[in-house]
Amino acid sequence: EPEVTQTPSHQVTQMGQEVILRCVPISNHLYFYWYRQILGQKVEFLVSFYNNEISEKSEIFDDQFSVERPDGSNFTLKIRSTKLEDSAMYFCASSERSDSPLHFGNGTRLTVT
């Protein structure tokens, strides 16, 4: 069964550095998403992306964050000038349609020190 893959599985970075989290969505899916889950807390929506542009974003997704689909397969989340509170598990997801079930990757655990 096709799946969403995320790399790296764990990223450690120093405060103030920039990180890029990478995702390969399922190939025939058209909608892409990033979520985050701070340890012990609930999953939070960050952004959805369709037709090469952001379709929805939450209050969390401020100017520190950006997303890109640089080619036909990758979907990236860039976090500029990381802060300690950015430490979390970041999940990528994709879906065929906006109302289809989401298929999540296994996440990238970001640790900011």
Partner 1 sequence: KNQVEQSPQSLIILEGKNCTLQCNYTVSPFSNLRWYKQDTGRGPVSLTIMTFSENTKSNGRYTATLDADTKQSSLHITASQLSDSASYICVVSEGGGSYIPTFGRGTSLIVHP
Of residues 22 and 104, the one with the C-beta less far from partner 1:
104
Range in contact with partner 1 (rule: CB under 8 A) among 11-19, 42-50, 64-72, 75-83: 42-50
Smallest gap from Cβ 43 to partner 1, in A, equals 4
In the list 91, 94, 110, 112, the residue contacting partner 1 (rule: CB under 8 A) is 91
Cβ 69 to partner 1, closest distance in Å? Answer: 19
* CA 57 remoteness from chain centre: 12
The answer to whether residue 99 forms part of the interface with partner 1 (CB under 8 A) is yes
Q: Rounded distance, CA 1 to CA 17, Å?
A: 36
What distance in Å separates the CA atoms of residue 26 and residue 73, rounded to the nearest whole number? 8
Cα–Cα distances in angstroms (integers) from residue 88 to residues 52, 69, 83, 112, in the given order: 26, 22, 11, 9
Q: By CB under 8 A, is residue 53 in contact with partner 1? A: no
In single-letter form, the type of residue at position 63 comes to: D
| 105 lies in the site for partner 1, by CB under 8 A | yes
User: Nearest-CA neighbor of 31 among 90, 106, 98?
Assistant: 98
Residues that bind partner 1 (CB under 8 A): 4, 41-45, 48, 56, 58, 91, 93, 98-99, 101-107
